[in-house]
Structure 1
Amino acid sequence: MPSSSSGDQGHESTTTTTDDRHRGVVMTGSDGEDGTKAFYILIEARPDKTSEVRTMLADILRCVQQEPATAPWYAVQHSPTTFAIFEVFPNLAGRQAHIDGEGGDIFRDIGRMNDILVRPAHVQKVDVLMSKQIFTVGYGGCGVKSGPDAPATREHR
């Protein structure tokens, strides 16, 4: 696999073609001081493997539902082939427990990752600076009714 590394600040640039084997995952960033931590994971599916990537995301969700230190957790889609995961942990120990757990095992399945991903998943270690962790059914504000008896205006799938 052709790759080049900048060697500074923990960042790596990887060039991959669909015939190349890759290592499944690349992690950048640093642990820093303890506090609320997160991963932002960028995932590029092979065009004919988007269904398999959705299955992988569902598999990961099943794993993290059993992890007391992983929440919130989101899988999102940027484009037809670009997906991402955003997951938050209360501290470094919680993030490490997640890495060592079954969700991490999915990314360590190099054969599966090479089959469904164009390039390694890019796991970015990030610090959470601020958050709003609770939302209601309605959006509220601007005259929109919100709360438990308000009609849902958007469904999360």
Structure 2
Amino acid sequence: MTKLALYVPLEARPGKEQEVADFLRSALPLVEAEAGTVAWFAIQTGPSSFAIFDAFDDEASRDAHLSGKVAAALMGKADELFASRPQIRKLDVLASKLPS
């Protein structure tokens, strides 16, 4: 059962909006290789506002994701792409509907 999640709001530096969108799209193959990541979404909420939402069945999977390649790439590009350092918010999932 999916019971944990992460939410990471991101604000692109001025002029870096397309680079942020491209960076987020490029992360998909890395996430697809993570067996414990049940769901992963990279979204754009405004002209320069983006976010990542991902879900996990257990803490070990969430921890593996946080110490994985996507998180490392995100933090490695943070100063270049984002107006401020990404703040990773740990969430509890109360209910979900995912494909089986």
1:88 alignment partner in structure 2: 55
Give, in angstroms, the shift of residue 131 of structure 1. 0.6
RMSD: 1.6
Structure with higher Rg: it is 1
Amino-acid identity (%): 35
The 5 A counterparts of 1:50-129 are 50-109=17-76, 112-129=77-94
- Counterpart position of 1:131: 96
Structure with a larger share of its residues in helix = 2
Unaligned runs of 5+ in 1: 1-34, 135-157
In structure 2, how many angstroms separate the alpha carbons of the residues matched to 1:73 and 1:85? 7
* Matched residues, number: 99
Tell me the TM-score normalized by structure 1: 0.59
* Partner-residue secondary structure (3-state), 1:67: coil
Structure 2 residue aligned with 1:36:
3
* Greater relative contact order (CA < 8 Å, ≥ 6 in sequence): 2
TM norm structure 2:
0.91
Structure 2 contact 41–54 (Cα < 8 Å) conserved? yes
Q: Which runs of 5+ in 2 are unaligned?
A: none
Q: Distance in 2 between matches of 1:71 and 1:61?
A: 13
